[in-house]
Structure 1
Amino acid sequence: MKFKVGDKVLVTSGKDKGQKEEIVKVFPTQDKVIVKGANMYSKHIKPIGDKPGDKVRRERPMSVAKIAILNDKGEVDRIGYKVAKDGSKERIFKKTGQPVPALDKKKLKK
């Protein structure tokens, strides 16, 4: 799967069509991702003991066919790979040829 956590994407179909947000979680075996604030649903939580019941809004996973990555200019683009001479692979935008910015792993843990 070419999408990674932290990529800015555009939702291309469904009730959230046109929404521009970032990917929160990736499920590569299912070809699904969770996009922040998209494909929301309400989960009803039963009251247990002295804790009251509640309605919580959560994101559901959505298919990667319903999203498109956004490049640095905010345009829809595709992801390609460039292999360096040392053998390392780098993700690039196909339209511009620029590398896809990598997510800072320190920010991810917070």
Structure 2
Amino acid sequence: MHVKTNDMVMITAGKDRGKTGKVQKIFADKGRLIVENVNMIKRHTRPRPGQSEGGIVEKEAPLDASNVMLVCPSCSKPVRTGKRVLDDGSKVRFCKKCNEIVDK
């Protein structure tokens, strides 16, 4: 997966195109992720004794990972990323526009 939890991403396709948000959760086996305050849906829930009231709950639905791009922290643009191996053997992501390392 080209993005990780807590990355800032921009939506590139669908009804929310152009919106940005932070990645909350990743479902790597399905190739989907949840972005904060993007792709909101409404769910009708039943009241449960001792747990919650019933009503209409708004929550985020998963997006496909191919429909988001990472927003580079240094150049503040949606970018493609590459991977590098540093001298100490660790793998990091880098921005293909400004050539800066994304992972700190």
How high is the TM-score relative to the length of structure 1?
0.83
Q: Give the match for residue 39 of structure 2.
A: 39
Which portions of structure 1, spanning 4 or more consecutive aligned residues, are displaced by more than 6 angstroms? none
Report the structure, 1 or 2, having the larger helix content. 1
The alpha-carbon distance between structure 1 residues 43 and 83, as it changes in their structure 2 partners (threshold 3 A), is same
Q: Which runs of 5+ in 1 are unaligned?
A: 103-110
Q: Which amino acid aligns with 1:97?
A: N
Q: Distance in 1 between matches of 2:48 and 2:86?
A: 57
Q: Distance in 2 between matches of 1:55 and 1:80?
A: 42
Q: Give the match for residue 67 of structure 1.
A: 68
Q: Quote the offset at 1:86 in angstroms.
A: 2.1
Q: What is the correspondence of 1:11-90 to structure 2 with a 5 Å cutoff?
A: 11-49=11-49, 52-72=53-73, 73-90=75-92
Q: Distance in 2 between matches of 1:96 and 1:4?
A: 20
Q: Distance in 2 between matches of 1:81 and 1:11?
A: 22
Residue 98 of structure 1 is aligned with which of 51, 76, 100? 100
Question: Retained in 1: the 8 A contact 2:92–2:103?
Answer: no
Q: Which amino acid aligns with 1:45?
A: T
How high is the TM-score relative to the length of structure 2?
0.87
Number of residue equivalences: 102
The alpha-carbon distance between structure 1 residues 28 and 48, as it changes in their structure 2 partners (threshold 3 A), is closer
Aligned-partner SS, 1:44 = strand
